[in-house]
C-alpha cells in the first residue's frame, strides 16, 4: 500500500475532491494519509475514523521556510520509498514547497486524482 500526501487548503469544491481521494486507488485504502492544511482545515475537516493525519502548515511563510516546515513535519512520518501526491486543493506556493520537501526527503512521487472512473494514477 501507498501513503497519500495532499494539500487541503483553498479552492472552491476542492475539499470534496480530497474527500473522494481518501478511499484510495482501486477502492483500496491508503496505508496512511497526510493532509497539509491550515488551522481552519485542521479544525473543520472531518476525518471520520480514517488513518488521516492533519498536519498544520503556515501558508504565510516564505517559500523556503514553508518547504523546511513541511520537510520537518513529514520526515519521520513517511515510511515508504514513494508517496501518492495530489494537488487539487491548495496554492501553487504550497505545491512547490511540498514537492521540494519530498525531493529533499528522497521520496519518489506518483500523482493521483479523482477521475470519472475513481481514483487513478495520472
**So what's the pLDDT on residue 9?**
86
**Is residue 101, in this structure, part of any structural domain at all?**
yes
pTM reported for the whole predicted model: 0.92
Cβ atoms 109, 102 nearer than 8 A: yes
**Is residue 118, in this structure, part of any structural domain at all?**
no
Distance (Å, whole) CA 106 – CA 119 = 25
Cβ atoms 20, 94 nearer than 8 A: no
- Tens digit of pLDDT at every position of the chain (122 positions): 689 999 998 766 788 889 888 888 777 789 999 999 999 889 888 877 778 999 999 989 999 999 999 999 999 999 999 999 999 998 999 999 999 999 999 999 999 999 998 899 99
**Is residue 30, in this structure, part of any structural domain at all?**
yes
34-59 burial code (b ≥16 CB/10 A, e <16): bbbbbeebeeebeeeeeebeebbbeb
**So what's the pLDDT on residue 37?**
95
**So what's the pLDDT on residue 83?**
97
Range of the domain at 32: 17-107
**So what's the pLDDT on residue 13?**
77
**Is residue 75, in this structure, part of any structural domain at all?**
yes
Query: For the chain, how many structural domains are there in total?
Result: 1
Amino acid at each position: 500500500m501507498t501513503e497519500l500526501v495532499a494539500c487541503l487548503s483553498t479552492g472552491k469544491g476542492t475539499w470534496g475532491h480530497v474527500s473522494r481521494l481518501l478511499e484510495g486507488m482501486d477502492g483500496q485504502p491508503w496505508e496512511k494519509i497526510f493532509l497539509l492544511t491550515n488551522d481552519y482545515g485542521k479544525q473543520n475537516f472531518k476525518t471520520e475514523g480514517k488513518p488521516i493525519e492533519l498536519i498544520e502548515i503556515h501558508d504565510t511563510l516564505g517559500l523556503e521556510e514553508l518547504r523546511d516546515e513541511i520537510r520537518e513535519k513529514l520526515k519521520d512520518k513517511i515510511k515508504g520509498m514513494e508517496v501518492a501526491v495530489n494537488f487539487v486543493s491548495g496554492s501553487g506556493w504550497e505545491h512547490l514547497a511540498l514537492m521540494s520537501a519530498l525531493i529533499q526527503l528522497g521520496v519518489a512521487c506518483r500523482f493521483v486524482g479523482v477521475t470519472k472512473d475513481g481514483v487513478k494514477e495520472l
